[in-house]
Structure 1
């Protein structure tokens, strides 16, 4: 099959995913601070392999200083072929700060096509709306 050698496959990864639960905007105030806009964030984990499942080993949420805020998936969870799962950080949850992130660990019994792991960061109130995605990036491979 043409191009098959270019497909990225793995038996597992630890994936870093940026979360934008706060963003700075506007002008600086009298204390030289910008305005803060709180966003909700949905982490999406999508198994892209049509033949094989994967196991989500953990989903950990960290704050700006690198402290773990919470474990969203304390027990491994299986995702079948083409299946998806997600976790949600609500708009009013400001524990993560401007540098919040997820670490997602997944594994598979054999090399499979890499899942798509990203956040959708959103703000929808009244006539104002903002939404954007943040892709995950593998920081280690071959997890157990």
Structure 2
């Protein structure tokens, strides 16, 4: 028992800074969220091009506040050149306390290019824990798989 406690304390000391991810309360933000619709890999071919692997991307929207709802007011999808491809929300999306939702970009959707991104806006009628908004980029076929997350980054507070 004593060694288990020692191991837990050591892990807390090492991981402590990474575990403290709490952000100040907020009543809204605009977030930039990278989307990797494809990744380059392998060696360059005779024309100087790398192989590309198409990925699907799920935009994960998670309300981390245990007491108050938030509203996702926009989820706009942009391509590598910054052109708006589509707005995923026809109307605001309410997420209850600890609720979540997701939006999906199919792997065959190559319009975004390698620099695709979402711009997500959210708000609340009172200061709340900021939501966790990220993409899960994935490819699964047979015995091959690739999956990784891309966290959203605040680019401005909402007025």
Q: TM-score range by the shorter chain?
A: over 0.9
The structure carrying a bigger strand percent of its residues is 1
Q: Does 1:23 align with 2:43?
A: no
Q: 2:102 aligns with which of 66, 80, 86?
A: 86
Secondary structure at the counterpart of residue 110 of structure 2: coil
What count of residue pairs does the alignment treat as equivalent?
138
Q: For residue 138 of structure 2, what is the aligned residue in structure 1?
A: 122
Q: Does 1:48 align with 2:67?
A: no
Gap runs ≥5 in structure 1:
1-5
Q: Does 1:108 align with 2:108?
A: no
Report the Cα offset of residue 8 of structure 1.
Answer: 1.8
The structure carrying a bigger helix percent of its residues is 2
CA distance in 2, matches of 1:13, 1:71: 17
Q: For residue 76 of structure 1, what is the aligned residue in structure 2?
A: 92
TM-score, normalisation: structure 2? 0.85
CA distance in 2, matches of 1:76, 1:9: 21
TM-score, normalisation: structure 1? 0.93
Q: For residue 137 of structure 1, what is the aligned residue in structure 2?
A: 153
CA distance in 1, matches of 2:64, 2:109: 30
Gap runs ≥5 in structure 2:
1-21
CA distance in 2, matches of 1:65, 1:7: 31
Report the Cα offset of residue 77 of structure 1.
Answer: 1.3
Q: For residue 3 of structure 1, what is the aligned residue in structure 2?
A: none
For the pair shown, the structure with the greater C-alpha radius of gyration is 2
> Which ranges of 4 or more aligned residues in structure 1 deviate by more than 4 Å?
none
Q: Does 1:39 align with 2:26?
A: no
Cα RMSD over matched residues? 0.9
